[in-house]
Amino acid sequence: MKPSRHPYLDHATPIAFAHRGGAADGVENTAAAFRRAAAAGYRYFETDVHTTADGRLVAFHDPTLDRVTDATGRISALPWSEVRRARVGGTEPLPLFEELLEEFPEARWNVDVKAEPALEPLLELIRRTGAWDRICVGSFSEARVARAHRLAGPRLATSYGVRGVLGLRLRSYGIPAALRSGAVCAQVPERQGGIPVVDARFVRTAHALGLQVHVWTVNEPGRMAALLDLGVDGIMTDHIETLRTVLSERGAWA
């Protein structure tokens, strides 16, 4: 039996996701990046979360501040009072995820839970704010997203982790494989280690199971067009103007 469509996916496809708000401009996962994406017409944002040493949920990709900010250190080892002083690209502060939910009340968020300690604070935030229809929880760890679904139940949209994607890929070749129930989408790279992940067979199999296929991170217009021709349901990009142009030219910019 196919799962019913989760309210998170109640949007015309293909869905355009601003990956980290549109990471191409160098201020990824900041309020400034998400404001720019919202002004460009994006309504689906992708972000990542970590927790500070004192349990604050920060929208940030890396476990450390070193790569994209003017500060250093592991976020999990630092209190929010220190993390909040870091500046992405030397200019933009790191936002708390709760602040982003409040600032962009119409946006829907794909949230990659980067570490286990961030999971329960995220679920508690969703409960407290009633944001069940606005968030899809993902992770490379199938165990982590399975735990999220187990703790929150069907109100929470989740995607497959690596193990789930592998199971779906095997099924697309006619090989029996177990799949976790409750996922609403498969969020996948176009290729992994030079091996294709997304092809027509994969998309057909996912759709037959009632699952959407969202592909990351696609920045070249030719690849965007090829994936759209395959029938994927969403594309995540760093280059938000490029994806908007490609979709607009196809009459598919919602």
**Number of residues that make up the chain:** 254
Cβ–Cβ < 8 Å for 156, 177: no
**Which own/partner pairs from 28-33 qualify as long-range (CB within 8 Å, at least 24 positions apart)?**
28/61, 28/68, 28/88, 28/238, 29/59, 29/60, 29/61, 29/88, 29/94, 29/95, 30/88, 30/92, 30/93, 30/94, 30/95, 31/92, 31/93, 31/95, 31/99, 31/100, 31/103, 32/92, 33/92
Q: Are strands 157-158 and 135-138 parallel, antiparallel or unpaired?
A: parallel
Which of 171, 127, 165 shows the shortest CA–CA distance to 145?
A: 165
Tokens of 29: 């996962």
The DSSP element (H or E) to which 179 belongs, if any, is none
Specify whether 6 is catalytic. no
Tell me, yes or no, if 149 is annotated catalytic. Answer: no
> What single DSSP character describes residue 111?
E
Which residue among 6, 19, 50, 239 is the active-site one? 19
Per-residue tokens: 220? 């070249």
The continuous run of DSSP H or E covering 155 comes out as none
Q: Considering 6, 11, 50, 61, which one is annotated as catalytic?
A: 61
Answer whether 60's CB lies under 8 Å from 87's CB. no
Q: Which residues are catalytic?
A: 19, 61
